[in-house]
Every structure is written in C-alpha cells, then in structure tokens.
A and B are shown apart, each in its own frame.
Chain A
Amino acid sequence: MTTRAEFLKRLESWGVKLAKDVLELKEPVMEIPARTLGNTIWDEKARMLKLGPEKMHRRFLDMKEARRFMQTVLMLRLIVEAIREDVYPTIRDLYYNGKHTISFKDPLSRVHRENTWDEQSESNAVIEDIEVATNVLREEMGVSADVKGKIVGPIVVRSQGYELDASKFGETALSLPVNVDGLEIVKVEAAYVLVVEKDAIFQRLVREKYWSQENAILVTAKGMPDRATRRFVRRLNEEYKLPVYVLTDGDPYGWYIYSVYKSGSIKLSYESERLATPDAKFLGLTATDIDAYKISDNYVIAANDRDVKRAQELLRYPWFQKPEWTREVNLFLKKKKKVEIEALSTHGLKFLHDYLKDKIRGKKFID
C-alpha cells in the first residue's frame, strides 16, 4: 500500500512544477481534469460514472482564474503542511486555517482587501481539484469530512481495538468513522442492507425494530451521502455480498441520491470505483407508487419548477437511460406530483414495514 509520505511527494512535486515554471518565467498553468457533466462518462460495463479525459487549464494570468489559482496554491500548502506535521485535519479545519484577508496596496496607494475564500464550498472545491489533479484522494491525504453516516443491525466492527456490536445500540446508532477502510468488520449476519435517505425514517425503523425482524442492516447518511457512508455500503456489498436496497423520497432529488449510491456522482466521478455500489436496488418511492399504493391526496405534493428542471436533467443522464427510469421520470413530469416517504403512513404507521417487505419479497424494485 502507498504510504502517506509517498502521497506527500506527489503533492509536493505538483507544487514544485508550478514554482519552477514561475522561476523560468513561464506562466504557471494547472492542468486539472474537468469535474463537469460534460466530462463525466457513463461506463456501461462497470455500471458506474467515470472521469473523462477532458482537462481544464487554470492559469495564473487569466483574470477570471487568478483567484482560484491562488486558492488552489493555498490549499495545496495547507494539505502538504498537514502531512508534513502528521496531523489529520477535516475539510472544515482547512477552510478555517486558510481563511484570511489579503490586503494589497496598489501603486496608486489604494488598498484592496479580499478574503482568500468566503464560503467553505470554495475551499472544498479546490480540495477536489487537487485530488483529481494529483491523483491523490482526500482520504489518502488524511483529510476528512464530517461523516453523517450511521448504522444499526447485526454487524460487529472493530474500531481502535474496541469491538462494537451495531445491534446493541438500543434506540441510538453506531456512527461511521472518517476512515471506514480502517474499520475492521468482525462479523456480519444480515440478510440485506437497507439504505434510508432520511434520518427520521431511519430512527422510526430502529425504534420499531424493523432491522431485527428483517435481520437487516439499516444505514442512513441524512440526505446526500458523504464518501465514508458510500464507501461502507460498497464494502458491505462487495465484501459480504449483501443485497443493498435504497429507500428515498419519491422526487427527482431522492432518485438522484439513489443514483449516487449506485453509480457515483458527477462531482466525484473520479471516486466511483471506490464508492459506487452498482448492485444497489431502488425500492421507492416511485411515481407509480402513488397510484399503486393508493396514497391519499393529503400526502401528495405538487412539484415545483425546480423539481421539474431536476427531472428533465435526470432524463438526460446516460445512467438513467433505463426503460423503468424513463417511465418513472416521465410519469412524474406528466403528473407533476411528488411524495415523501412519510406518505406511506396513509395506511397507518405500520404500513411502511408492509411496503418494504412487499417491495423486497416481490422484487418490485428498480435496478
């Protein structure tokens, strides 16, 4: 396995190349694979999103790029220093460490002030740029993000020497660590994995002991999944061959979350090979469910313009080009109606369980 020191070398040599260009009076240009939809390739065979060959060039002498150039160089230094000092910052730490005000007095003595970055989204974006440009993953840099993932169910793991049984957390749950690859899986006796988009539904299923009745591992990442949660789901599927089912709201946003678990995301397509779970199946909610499960109008919400736009985008994604998905999305666009998971309570609180069992036993899922 590659060590952190070797990753450090790769990061440093990228910086050295830029610096040498400057010293040779060549304009320093960063070559960064483009993390755009246009450069996202749907790998039919691998059934996941991959990063295309397209590169963007971030030039210091381009007025529109200079700020990003500065931010990238700043972030590179922060990461390089963290590794040199053997610390493990979070992306939020890096944001705060790097945030300060640049003050520049121009030759006419006017002072210009500007923050290195204002929002964390800016510093996050350059971290991802550095990952793709140097081919060193954030996890390999030892840089972590807030992990939102938690699990409950018949699985025992070992973390820093402690054995943790995820079936013994009562009404609470086991939080996933930053580095899930460092988590040793001691024992798994589950029949399947159920990924739930929403924390509220996850908690209900825990309280109602759904997992013990079904012998299932419940996972949630509270919305759009972070990398650690996706990686853990992938491991359960890959290493223990557990079927993975995903339950989200019945709207384009929920459907996209499912596709991120399954195929990867546009922004992080370079990570799909580690994170995607191509075998994951979609349980619901689908647009068809509204009629199929006779969901009361009280629970049906009118779609707004943003939902519609998002749905149209889904139709254009190559990884949504399956008859089942085209049918669902088009049905949504036709009816302009969406439902949340909670809508299943239309037939009483217990109905959620019946719904899940019906879908899984009857194989009424979308692949």
Chain B
Amino acid sequence: MYAYEALPVAEWFRRNRELAGFHNPTRALYQTVRELVENSLDATETYGILPTIYLRINIEDEQKSWVSVYAEDNGIGIPGAEIPNVFGRVFYSSKYRIKQHRGVFGLGLKMVVLYAQSTTNKPVYVRSAALKSDKIYEYQIMIDTNSNSPIILDRKEYPNKYRWHGTAVKVYLEGSWLAAKKRIEDYLKRTAIIAPYAEIAFKGPDMELWLKRRTTKLPPAPKEGLPHPKSVDVDTLKQMVAESRGMTLLEFLMESFDAVGEGTAKVFLEWAGFNPNMKVTAMTPEEMVKLVEKMKQYGGWRRPRSEWLSPVGAELLEIGAKAILGAEAVFAVTRKPESYGGHPFIVEAAVAWGGQIPPSDKPVLLRYANKIPLLYDEGADVARKVVDEFNWQNYKVKFPASLAVIIHVCSTKIPYASAGKEAIAEVPEIEKEMRLALRDAAKKLRLYLSRKEKEMEMFNRYVSLAKYVDEIAHNLAITSRLDKDKLAKHLHKLIETKIGLTVEELVKHTLSLSAAPQEAEETAAQ
C-alpha cells in the first residue's frame, strides 16, 4: 500500500523556497494552510472517507509576528514508523504513482517544516494513527538540512482506545495573518466549492468559517495507473528498468506501460528497430534515449486511459457552487477524457448564474487543477483567455451579469505555466477542451435563461389579466346582481385555463427558476 522513496536535496530547497511558494510571511502562511489542507484531502477522499478537517490559526507572538497553524483530519493516518520520514525527508512521498492526487512532489510538508524551523526554530508537532492502528503516535520533528534526514526531538505512543484514525499537525512559523486572511478565506471557500463533500471548520484569530458538508457523495476514487509510452522521459525509464527484474523488452512494454498489448508492442518494436527478446537491463544509455524518442514519435499507441483521473463530476460541482457562491443556478459539464503528450486529462466547467454573485462586467473565474484552487497569476492562465474570448452574447448573457465560471483541469500531469504552479499553460489540446466545456455549460445556461424568460412572460401574462379580476367581478356583480366571489373565482379559472397552468403551478415554475438557492440538505458527519 505504501511505497516511500528518498531524494537528498533538503538544503537546495531551503535556499529556493520561493519556487514552492514560501516567498514571504504572507505567502508562507497561505502556502502552509494549502499544504496541510491538501494533504488532509488526499488522505481522506482518495480512500473513500468523507473529509472532516479542523483548521486553526493562532497569533503566538505579535511582536515577532509568529503564528501557529493546526490542522487535523480523519484520514488514513501515517504508520508510526513512517512519520519521521514523511515529515523530515524531502521527496519522500507515497504519491509517486500515476494517479491523480493533489500532492505530487513529496515536498509540501517538508517545505512547511523547513520554513517553520528557519523562522521560529520550533519543531513540527505531529499526532497520527493509521487505519485500525491500536496506537496513536506523537512526534516532535525537525529536519537536518545537511543530511536530508529527520531529527526526532520527542516521541510518544498512546493506546488507541476509540480506533481514531487521522493526522493532526501543528507548526509555528513567521506569518502575516492580516495580509493572508483574504487569500486563506478565498482558498477555503473555493476548496469547498470543488469538494462539497468535505466539512471544513476554520478558526482564525479574528474570524470563523464553517464550511458545512453539502453532500455525502464522493467522486469515484481514482485508480492507480501505469505511464503511457508517450509520457515517459529518460530518467523515469531508467527507474522503471531498475524495477523490471530481468524482463524482456516485449514483456517490459506490456507490463510496465499503459495501453500496450502484445500486438501493439511487437509492431512498435519492429518499427523502432529493437529486438523484442532483448533483456531490458542490457540496454545501453544510448538505446534508452532512442527508445524514449521512438515511443514519443510512434503514432500507433492507443490513447492513454483515464481511470486514474478523478474529476469532480457535474453534480458535485453544481452542489458546491450553489452552496458557496449562493448562485441561483449552476450548470456543469464533465468532458470526455483527452490527452496531450501521453498524459490523460479531463476538463470540467461550470457556469454559475445569479443569486448572490455580484454583478460585474466580466465573469468571475474560479480555476482549479486537480481539485486545487488556483488563486494567483490568473492573467497567465489559459482559462482566463478562453473565458475572455468566449462569445457570451450567443448564450443570452448580457453584462454586467452575475456570472461565475469554474474551470477544472484534472490530469496526471498538469502543465503549469510557471514554477509557482498557479496558472495552466497554453496547451492547445487543453485550451480546446476548455472551450468546448464552457460552450456545453453555457448552452445549458442559455436554455435555462430562455426558459426563465418564457416563464416570466407567462407569469406577467397571468398578472396582466388577474389584476383586473376583482374590479370586474365587483362591477359585474352590482350590474347583474350575481355573486361577486363566485364571479371572481370563475374569472380566475378562466385565466388558468387560458394559460394552461394553475396559479400554484405557475408560481412553482417561476419560483423554481428565480428564487434564492435552497440550502443543500444537511447530512451528519459519518
């Protein structure tokens, strides 16, 4: 179930922390929250657990602007023996497999620990129990940056009487709460939109935010997968060869890659000029480079499979956006899987309309990559370009409008535009899918808007007749000496027959289209 590997570059990353988002006390606090929350989500939803996350930020020393961040989840936990490495060894991760996670580098936690100890010289406090573990472990850990290894300051064990599982982490760091507050709030809300099945309770020094669980439905967990031949680089190939235990080239292709059957493998090897029976371990470095090149060039591969992707799905997106944005209506689509350079990807889009979305001259854009909200560098993101170039007029939208657009790309490899991992690059395949996803969602919006227009028209037609009923009944009753109430009742009936709907139906239709969103049903935490 776990496969942990180590790479020795702690020192290098300490010196290059801006790459990982720890530029300054503001970004560092925001980034710390992100790393912890994303690890918690990975440790829960990926394993079929409905996430419940407590997050607390305290101001510890106003003078030195020291803050503490505490995060606790109900995830699968970390086996006691692994805790020191997970927190103290850079590039130590269980997520190197080809499967969609939020975390990918095996770096996040360590950057938090490194930044924390370099600013406050305090260790990270960890408490964790793995699933079914009869013990709870508590550690205080720091990182030795020279040897890329953990320093254990304290270690305790407790009996796990109630079979608790999960992880709690607390770090002390220099951070600017006031400057980061808005971003953190935004980040948590946007996370709740894409993960409405999560319960997130946040307490900051001067605010509280309780993002309730809106549904108990989890997106299907991604399966683990093998790399597509087109997506492999030389380093990865070397690693794979090392694990190949004496297979032939033919076996190696069939066993270690996605979408390669015996037929495909034979045809490819012949085309590329390799001997299928050659032992992979016998390949020279030059042959390895050639194999990678040929695999990239070959046109006969099947498309990469997408089972290890985990899109949110239209239903969850709609629930999330309605609840958090207070939208009147949300229309979401999940496109079919596509691929670029051997990496499968799926684009999802949602348009949220009306309600509490503040009207503005262009749509509010909420970007996500593998369920992670992207908050910075919006201008550099291809999604912004797609949304700006979109012809909203064709979809009955006139600005200023209360309109928000959600675009989510999930992939085994997100093509980021910069090292900050905050914007998606202009990959033609992805751009095209974004366009199509947005178009599909906007079509649904258009249908809704024109239906609403029609309903409103019908309602107005009703009003334009019904407003006279009383006056007419009153006067006719005096002239004819017949019963006024009966006349009024019958006049109303005549209107209903004419319109083809009863007033109740009419109201229901009109309301269902224009009323404030109903609170999604509350469901108890499991």
Contact = CB atoms under 8 A, between A and B. Distances in A.
Interface of A: 11-12, 15-16, 18-20, 22-23, 25, 27, 60-61, 63, 66-67, 69-70, 73-74, 76-77, 80-81, 102, 104, 106-108, 112, 114, 116
A108 to B, nearest CB: 7
B464 interface: yes
B490 A22 contact: yes
Contacts of A63: 461, 464-465
Interface of B: 459, 461-468, 470-472, 474-480, 482, 486-487, 490-491, 493-495, 497-498, 503, 506-507, 510-511
A23 B490 contact: yes
A69 B468 contact: yes
Contact of B467 (A16, A23, A112): A112
Given A18-B476, A66-B464, A107 B494 contact: no
A19 B477 contact: yes
A76 B506 contact: no
B472 A60 contact: yes
A25 B477 CA distance: 16
Contact of A104 (B470, B475, B506): B470
B467 A60 contact: no
A60 B479 contact: no
A106 B463 contact: yes
Contacts of B472: 60, 69-70, 73
A18 to B, nearest CB: 6
A25 B490 contact: yes
B487 A22 contact: yes
Nearest to B493: A25
B507 A12 contact: no
Contacts, number: 96
B490 A12 contact: no
B468 A67 contact: yes
A10 to B, nearest CB: 12
Contacts of A102: 467-468, 470-471
18 contacts: A11-B479, A15-B476, A15-B480, A19-B480, A19-B482, A23-B482, A23-B486, A23-B490, A66-B464, A66-B465, A69-B468, A73-B471, A77-B476, A80-B479, A81-B478, A102-B468, A106-B459, A106-B467
Contacts of B498: 27, 61
Interface SS of chain A: helix, strand, loop or mixed? Answer: helix
B471 to A, nearest CB: 5
Contact of A114 (B466, B467, B479, B487): B467
B476 A107 contact: no
A73 B472 CA distance: 6
> What are the 4 A-B residue pairs with the smallest beta carbon separation, nearest first?
A15-B479, A104-B467, A19-B480, A77-B475
Nearest to B474: A77
A81 B476 CA distance: 12
Contact of A22 (B463, B466, B474, B476): B476
Given A25-B494, A107-B506, A108-B510, 14 more contacts: A12-B479, A15-B479, A15-B480, A16-B482, A19-B479, A19-B482, A25-B497, A61-B465, A61-B495, A66-B464, A70-B472, A76-B479, A77-B479, A104-B470
Contact of B494 (A16, A22, A81, A108): A22
Contacts of B462: 106
Contacts of A76: 475, 479
Nearest to B483: A23
Contacts of B476: 15, 18-19, 22, 73, 77
B467 A12 contact: no
